[in-house]
Amino acid sequence: MQTQIAIAGAGLAAALTALRLLSRPDCPSVILADPAPLTGRTWSFHEHDISASDREWLAPAVAYQWAGQDVRFPGNIRSLRAGYATITPTSMAGALRHPQLTMMQARVQSLSPDHMLLDDGTRIDTRCVIDARGIVAHPAMDIAFQKFLGQEVELDAPHGLTRPIIMDATVDQVDGYRFVYVLPFGPNRLLIEDTRYSDTATLSAEGVRAAIGEYANSQGWTITRILAEEQGALPLMLGFDPKAFWADAHLPRIGMRAAQFHPVTGYSLPDAVRTSAVVEAHWHKGSDALAHAIRQDALSRTTRFYRLLNRMLFRAADPAQRRHVMNRFYRLPEPLIERFYAGRTTPADMARILIGKPPVPIRRALRALPERISDV
Ligand SMILES: Cc1cc2nc3c(=O)[nH]c(=O)nc-3n(C[C@H](O)[C@H](O)[C@H](O)COP(=O)(O)OP(=O)(O)OC[C@H]3O[C@@H](n4cnc5c(N)ncnc54)[C@H](O)[C@@H]3O)c2cc1C
């Protein structure tokens, strides 16, 4: 078989990259190979995470969008103006229907700069190969976790929400910083996710399902049916050695495979959109040139400040204090919050976030300042 671009994996990063390429009038032929393409999760983003021009080609993949969002902390209930949007596997699959795209339900065995080999022995010759097979542990990363379980549920009556609750942190604090995330998918339909910022990746699914039921009851909602469930433990970066990470990246990598996610949220959609522009600009030069361009782009971004904040949250703050840190953040001006999630925090924002009486013990804050990667 032959194609111009062969992508191993058909998760978020692969799908976004394909979508951008397919939106071009001169789009190349693309093959995505994955044993379980586009499965098991919804992907959301804040309006300001993505530029207006990128939102145009992304639009066909968006299933839901809202004009604002809310956060709830003890003593701080706040409505924010920033829009929010969600892509589902179904909406993404619909947007990717295109004669130039072939989706193969197959596991990739190996990759080389000029071909991709599938488990069944099929060889796909290509000008450009891309590795989008999701996250792998790497010694250059020191991570904690945002772990969660979410249920899409149907209620017996309308819930009345018109916008997402991005964080309802008025709930009991267990296993680190805990909050509930609620997306209104329809008048009687919600995605309710119970999330914890924790030192460990393990989560008792039964316990969290019960907690979601209790939360729904506390809001006066009666769940009549569970339509879907998703679970994750997203990496939150406390320390990172980019040079060590990229030293052995000889083939182009995108998405979580390229450690491209927001260190404080574990969300990768905005970074994947940005990297898709690098693919668009360089794929035609071949795999080696694209690998070089992606590495250069990655090394030009600095996420050092976000990693410092994570160390303050996980190393300096007691688990019980983490909510206090987040509550303080959510009292800051909206443009600063928007830039934070978009990964565009300015030096003035950094000063603003750090200024004032630190909500963590000063001695422990000082100890958390240096960035050490335990295993490198
Ligand atoms: C439940 C959940 C919800 C999330 N929600 C959001 C969100 O709302 N917003 C956001 O920005 N981020 C979110 N994330 C975080 C992150 O953006 C996602 O994990 C995202 O899917 C990562 O994209 P990716 O393409 O790098 O990896 P993935 O989407 O994980 O895709 C990797 C793909 O590679 C495939 N694969 C693995 N090995 C092989 C192989 N040998 N051959 C072929 N294919 C292979 C896998 O089957 C998989 O489909 C969420 C994560 C989870 C787990």
In total, how many domains does the chain have? 3
Is residue 157 domain-shared with residue 286, that is, in the same domain?
Answer: no
Indicate the residue among 299, 316, 338 that finishes a domain: 299
Instruction: For residue 37, give the ligand 1 atom closest to its CA.
Output: 49
Judge if 30 and 106 occupy the same domain: yes
Q: Is the CB of 268 under 6 A from ligand 1?
A: yes
Check if 235 has its Cβ closer than 6 Å to any atom of ligand 1: no
Does the residue 70 lie in any domain?
A: no
Q: Confirm whether 170 is domain-assigned.
A: yes
Domain presence at residue 275:
yes
Kindly state whether residues 125 and 265 are assigned to the same domain: yes
Q: CB neighbours of 155 closer than 8 A, spacing ≥ 6?
A: 188, 189, 190, 216, 221, 222, 223, 224
* pLDDT in the model for residue 373: 63
Q: Verify whether ligand 1 is closer than 6 Å to residue 338 (CB atom).
A: no
- Nearest alpha carbon, ligand 1 atom 28: 11
pLDDT tens digit sequence for 275-332: 999 999 999 999 999 999 999 999 998 899 999 999 988 888 787 788 988 999 999 9
Say if 88 falls within a structural domain. no
What confidence tier does 375 reach under pLDDT thresholds 50, 70, 90? very low
Boundary of a domain, candidates 197, 219, 237 = 237
Query: Is the residue at 78 inside a domain?
Result: no
Same domain, 191 and 228: yes
Assess whether 229 and 272 both reside in one domain: no
The response to whether residue 343 sits with its C-beta less than 6 Å from ligand 1 reads no
How remote is the CA of residue 316 from the centroid of ligand 1, in Å?
A: 30
Judge if the beta carbon of residue 12 lies within 6 A of ligand 1: yes
User: 303's torsion region: left (phi>0), alpha (psi -120 to 50) or beta?
Assistant: alpha
The Å distance, Cα 145 to ligand 1 centre, comes to 15
Residues 199 and 338 occupy one common structural domain:
no
Q: Which of 62, 103, 133 to mutate to test the pocket of ligand 1 (most atoms within 8 A of CB)?
A: 133
37 CA → ligand 1 middle, Å: 10
Q: Are residues 212 and 196 in the same domain?
A: yes
44 lines ligand 1 (CB under 6 A): yes
Does one domain contain both 114 and 148? Answer: no
CA 314 – ligand 1 centroid, Å: 24
Q: Identify whether 49 is part of a domain.
A: no
For residue 239, the CA-to-ligand 1 centroid distance in Å is: 22
Per the structure, the complete domain to which residue 323 belongs is given by: 304-368
Distances (CA, A) of 229 to 10, 46, 70, 110, 226: 20, 22, 23, 32, 8
Q: Across all residues in the chain, what is the average pLDDT?
A: 93
Cα 11 to middle of ligand 1, angstroms: 5
Residue at a domain's end among 208, 237, 266: 237
Residues 107 and 190 in one domain: no
Q: Separation of 273 CA from ligand 1 center, angstroms?
A: 14
CATH for 156:
3.30.70
pLDDT at 173: 93
State which of 119, 267, 275 you would mutate to test the pocket of ligand 1, scoring each by most atoms of that ligand within 8 A of its C-beta.
Answer: 267
pLDDT of 216-275, one tens digit each? Answer: 999 999 999 999 999 999 999 999 999 999 998 899 999 999 999 999 999 999 999 999
Ligand 1 and 308: CB distance under 6 A: no
Same domain, 252 and 282: yes
How far away, in angstroms, is 73 Cα from ligand 1 center? 30
Which two tokens mark 198? 């924790």
Pocket of ligand 1 contains residue 89 by CB under 6 Å: no
pLDDT digits (tens, 9 = 90+) for 33-83: 999 999 878 999 999 999 999 999 999 999 999 999 999 999 999 999 999
Domain presence at residue 360? yes
Query: Do 225 and 203 reside in the same domain of the chain?
Result: yes
Same structural domain, 209 and 315:
no
- Flag whether 277 is in a domain: yes
**Range name among 14-18, 89-93, 208-212, 358-362 with the lowest pLDDT average:** 358-362
